Chain A
Amino acid sequence: MSKRDTSRTMNIVRKGMGRRYRAEKRFKRIGLVAIIFSLSCLATLFISIIGNGHTAFLQTVVKMDIYLDPAEFDPESLNRADYQGTIKKALRTMFPQVTSRGDKKKLYAMISTGATFQLMDVIKQTPDLIGTTISLWVPADDDVDMFMKGYIRRDVEETDRRLNDLQISWIDALAHDGRIKKRFNTTFFTSGDSREPELAGIWGATCGSFYTLLITLLLSFPVGVAAAVYLEEFAPKNRFTDLIEVNINNLAAVPSIVFGLLGLAVFLNLFGLPRSSPLVGGLVLTLMTLPTIIIASRAALKSVPPSVREAALSVGASKTQMVSHHVLPLALPGMLTGTIIGMAQALGETAPLLMIGMVAFIVDIPGGLQDPSTVLPVQIFLWADSPERAFLEKTSAAIMVLLAFLVTMNAVAVFLRKKFERRW
C-alpha cells in the first residue's frame, strides 16, 4: 500500500471518528438511563408505599368518661349487660347539646364498635370498678381517624366528605379538651382481620404465614437437600436422572398458579385435607420452592472441590460417609442460603394460596396447622380490594411489614453467604 492510500484511509476513519464517538456516548447513556429508570421505579414504589402507609402506625383514640351504673352491671351476669348503651350514654353526657335523632346517630358513629369490647374487657378484669366513673381511651371510628390524619379535608364541600360539619365541630371540641390524640397503633400488630379498619390487624395473617412457612421449611429443606445430594453425588448418568433434571428445571419456571390448581385438585379434592389451612398451603408452597432449593443445593455441592471427596475415599470412607461427614457440612451454608431465599419467595407468594381457599375472611388468630387462616400477602390482597380509605393505609403498612420480613430474611442469607463463603 502506498503512502497516499494510507492517508486516504486514515482520512475516512478520522472523518467517521466524531460520529462514532457520539454513538459510543449515546449508547453508554442509554445504558445508564435504563438503570436509572429501573432504580427510580424502585424508589417510586417504596416512596408511594411508605407515604401511604406510615400513618397506619398511629391510631386516633378518644378519651371517654364512662359511668358504670350498678343497676346495669350485675357482677353475676356481666355478659348480658348493655355495653353499647353505656358507651352511647357516655357520649350523650359528653355532648349534651345533641338532641335530634339524626345527630345522635352521627355522634355514635364517631366511636369505633371496638369500644364496646374494650369496655367489656375492662369490667371483666376489674369488676370492682362498677359504680364509679372511669375514663377510658377508646379507638375512634376510621373516618375520624382519617380526618385527624388529614386525609379528609375541611375545605371540601360538606356533601363530598364522610364527616359533616357538625361532626368536625365535635372533633374540634374534643381536641380542645385534649380528649382526642394519636398514639401508637398496637391493635394493628395484635389483632386479626376485621371489617372495621380501625380494628383490623395483621397478627392473624402473620401467624398463618408462620405456620405455613413452618410446614414448607420442614418438608422442603430435608427433601430438597436429599434430592440434591442424590443427583449430584450418587446418581448415575442415565435417562432417568436426565428426566428428573428436566423436570426440576421446568418446575422452577412453571407459573405459581398452576401449583395452586394442583393443590386444589389433589390435596383438597382427592385427599380431603382441610380447606384454607396452613397445612395445605405449606404443602403447595413446598412443591413450589423445592426446585429453588434443589438447584441452590446442587450449586453448593458442586462448589466443594473433588479433592475433599478423594481424600475421604482414600482413607477408607464409604461413599455415604464421604458425603455425610465431609461434603455435606462444607456445602451446608450454601444450602441454607438457598433455602432462606426459597422461603422468602414462599412468604411473598399469593396466587397458589388463593386457589386453596386461603382468601376467606378470618377474624380468629389461627392456633394450629389445621385452623382456617390467611397469610400476609393474601391479607394485603384482601385489604387492597376494600373500598374504605382507611384500608389503603392499612394495606401499605402491611406491605411494609411484609417487606421488612423479606429484607431480614435476605439479609440473613447474604450474611451467611459472606460469613461461610469459601474460595477453594
Chain B
Amino acid sequence: MTPTHTLILLLLLCAVGYQVGKKRSFAVAKIRGGPRVLHSRPVYYGSLTALWCAVPALIVFSSWLMFESGIITHLVISQLPDHIQDLSADRLNLVMNDIRNLVNGNIVSKAAGPAIQSAADHYQQLQSISHASVAVLVLVMAIAGIMAAQYYIRPELRARNHVERMIRYLLIVCSTIAIFTTIGIVLSVLYESIRFFKIVPVFEFLFGLEWSPQMAIRSDQVGSSGAFGAIPVFMGTFLISVIALSVSVPVGLMSAIYLSEYANKRFRAVAKPLLEILAGIPTVVYGFFAALVVAPVIRNTGEFMGLDVSSESALAAGLVMGIMIIPFVSSLSDDVINAVPQSLRDGAYGLGSTQSETIRYVILPAALPGIVGGVLLAASRAIGETMIVVMAAGLSANLTLNPLETVTTVTVQIVTLLVGDQEFDSSKTLAAFALGLVLFIVTLILNVIALYVVRKYREQYE
C-alpha cells in the first residue's frame, strides 16, 4: 500500500464520516422531537465528524513521511558490512544513493555487489513495513475519530462553533506560511554562509579584490587556493544595474508621464497593455534576446567605431535588463502620479503655467518620494535578476567600470557555482550561499526602505 493509496482511502473515509455524522445528528434529534432541537444545522455535525476523522490522521501521516526516509537510511546503514560503514560520509552517501536507485529500479552506477543488493532488499522491506504500518495507523485513527464524534454528537453540541474555530485555525496557519518562508530563507542561507565564513573570513569575502572560486582537488595543483574576494562580483552587479536603471528610469518615467498626462483615451488603451506585455515576457526570453540579438549588434557597432567590445559586454545585459524593467518603473510611477491630488494641478494651471511646467515643478516634486520608492524597487529587481545576466553577461570577474568589458554578477556566480555536480560541502557551493545571503540582505534593505517610503507617501495624500 503506497502513501498515495492511504491518502485516497483517508479522503474516502472523510466523506463517509461526513455522511455518518449528518445521519447521527438527525438520529439524536429525532428522540427529542426533530431537527429543530439541534444547536447547529446537520451539515455542521457532518463537517465536524469529517474534520475529526481527517485532521489528526493527516498530522500523523505527514510527520511520519517526513521522518521515514531518514530513519530507514539510518537502519540500513547500521546493517551494512563494516568495511562499508567505515567509509567517509561522502562515500557512504554515494553507496546509499546506489541502494536507493536499486530500490527504485533505476540504473545503478556500477554492478551491485551482494552486500549492496541485500541492503537494497533490506531497504525495500523496511519501506514496505513502514508504509503498511502508517496506513494501518492512519486508518485506525481516522475511524477512531469518526467513532469519537459519534459519541459526542448530541443536540446541545455547538458543532458550528467547533467547525468555525477549526477553520479559523486553518486560516491562521495558511497566513503564517509567509513568515515561515522568510525564516526558511534566512536560516538556510545563513547556515551555509556561516560554514563558508569558517573557511574564508568575512572580511576577506566582503572586501577582497580577487574572485576565482576554484578549489583544487589535490593540494599540489597549480592555483590550488581559491580566491573569494567578492568586490569584483559586487562591482559587476552594480555596473549592470546602473546601466539598466539609466535606461529604465528615464524611459519608464517619461512613458508614465505621457500616458497619464498627455495621451488621449484611445492611445492609452492601446499603449498601456502593450507596455505591460513587456513585463509579462519571461526573463529567459530577454536573456536569449540579449545574447543573440543585442550583444552582436553592440559588438559590431563598436567594431565599426573602432572600439574593442567584448561579446559578453555589460552594456548588452544592462540594456536588455533596462528594457525589462521599463514597464515596472512606468506602472509604479503611473500610480504615484495619479495619486497627486488634482487641486495641486489646478493651482499650478491657475497661476498660468503650461502643462509641462506643472508636471516638472509641481507634480514631480510632489510625487518624488513615491518615484524614489519605485526606483529603489526597480534597483532591487535589477540586482536580483538572474536569467538575463546568466545568458548575456560573462563569468570572468573583472574589476572594471567599463561597460564594454565583460563583468560578472552575484546571480551569475550563484548559478554557475551551484548548477552541475559538485559535492555540497566544498567551499565553492558554500560561497554561492554566502553570495545569496548578501543578495538577500541588500534586496531586503532596498525593499523595506522602498515599501516604507511608498506607504508614507500614500498616507500623505489620503
Contacts and interface: CB of A to CB of B under 8 A. Distances in A.
A354 B412 CA distance: 12
B380 interface: yes
A399 B175 contact: no
Interface string B409-425: 00100110011000010
Interface string A1-43: 0000000000001000000110110011011111101110110
Nearest to A42: B278
- Chain A contact surface mostly: helix
B355 interface: yes
B293 A44 contact: yes
Contacts of A354: 386, 415, 418-419
Contact of B281 (A20, A38, A250, A348): A348
Interface in A382-417: 384, 392, 395-396, 399, 402-403, 406, 410
Interface stretch (B7-15, B27-35, B300-308, B438-446): B438-446
A384 B292 contact: yes
Given A20-B354, A41-B278, A254 B175 contact: no
B156 interface: no
Interface in A83-116: none
A180 B391 CA distance: 36
Interface in A255-281: 255-259, 261-262, 264-266, 269, 271-272
Interface string A139-172: 0000000000000000000000000000000000
A380 B418 contact: no
Contacts of A272: 69-70
A294 interface: yes
Interface residues of A, number: 86
Contacts of A402: 282, 285
Interface string B249-286: 01111110111011000000001001101101111111
B255 A35 contact: yes
B164 A254 contact: no
B285 A258 contact: no
Nearest to B376: A253
Contacts of B252: 34
B280 A266 contact: no
Contacts of A257: 384, 386, 411, 414-415, 436, 439
Contacts of A403: 281, 285
Contacts of B352: 13
Most A-side CB within 10 Å, residue of B326, B330, B355: B326
Interface string B310-341: 00000000000001001100100000000000
A30 to B, nearest CB: 6
A261 B433 contact: yes
A290 interface: yes
Interface stretch (B115-123, B142-150, B186-194): B186-194
B292 to A, nearest CB: 7
Given A257-B415, A377-B284, A250 B251 contact: no
Contact of A34 (B251, B385, B418): B251
B174 A226 contact: yes
B181 A251 contact: yes
A359 B390 CA distance: 14
Contacts of B411: 255, 257, 351
Contact of A38 (B189, B251, B287, B288): B251
Contact of A350 (B283, B326, B443): B283
B37 interface: no
Most B-side CB within 10 Å, residue of A224, A290, A350: A350
Contacts of B390: 351, 381
B139 to A, nearest CB: 23
Interface string A318-362: 111000000000000000000000001001111100110101000
Contact of A255 (B66, B182, B385): B385
Contacts of A134: none
Given A27-B360, A350-B386, A42 B285 contact: no
B69 A255 contact: no
A123 interface: no
A248 interface: yes
B275 A39 contact: yes
B90 interface: no
A243 interface: yes
A320 B199 CA distance: 54
A23 B356 contact: yes
A230 interface: yes
Given A38-B278, A42-B274, A248 B178 contact: yes
Contacts of B433: 261, 265
A255 B292 contact: no
Contacts of B278: 38, 41-42
Given A230-B172, A257-B411, A384 B185 contact: no
B262 to A, nearest CB: 6
Given A34-B255, A41-B278, A359-B419, A244 B175 contact: yes
Contacts of B189: 258, 261-262, 265
B262 A31 contact: yes
Contacts of B367: none
Contacts of A184: none
A48 interface: yes
Contacts of A49: 285, 288-289
A34 B171 contact: no
B440 A258 contact: yes
A312 interface: no
A231 interface: yes
B329 to A, nearest CB: 10
B383 interface: yes
Contacts of A359: 419
B376 to A, nearest CB: 10
Contacts of A230: 168, 171-172, 174-175
Contact of B387 (A271, A351, A406): A351
A381 B418 CA distance: 16
B383 A255 contact: yes
Interface string A203-229: 000000000000000000011101101
Given A20-B354, A256-B384, A258-B384, 6 more contacts: A41-B323, A255-B386, A261-B436, A272-B70, A399-B288, A402-B285
Question: Which are the 3 A-B pairs with shortest beta-carbon distances?
Answer: A255-B384, A31-B258, A348-B282
29 contacts: A27-B360, A28-B258, A28-B262, A31-B257, A38-B251, A39-B274, A45-B286, A226-B170, A227-B177, A227-B178, A230-B172, A230-B174, A247-B178, A251-B182, A258-B440, A261-B185, A261-B414, A265-B189, A287-B181, A291-B178, A348-B283, A348-B284, A351-B283, A351-B415, A381-B284, A381-B287, A381-B387, A395-B288, A406-B280
